[in-house]
Amino acid sequence: MINNLCSKVATNHGKYYFDTLADSLNNYYKKPTNRWKANLRQRYFNTPWAAISLLAAVILLILTVIQTVCSIIFVVG
Could you list the pLDDT tens digit for every one of the 77 residues in the chain?
677 777 776 666 667 788 889 889 999 989 999 999 999 889 888 899 998 998 999 999 999 999 999 999 999 87
Q: Checking phi first, is residue 10 left (phi over 0); if not, alpha (psi -120 to 50) or beta?
A: beta
Instruction: Pick the closest to residue 40 from 56, 29, 51, 25 (CA basis).
Output: 51
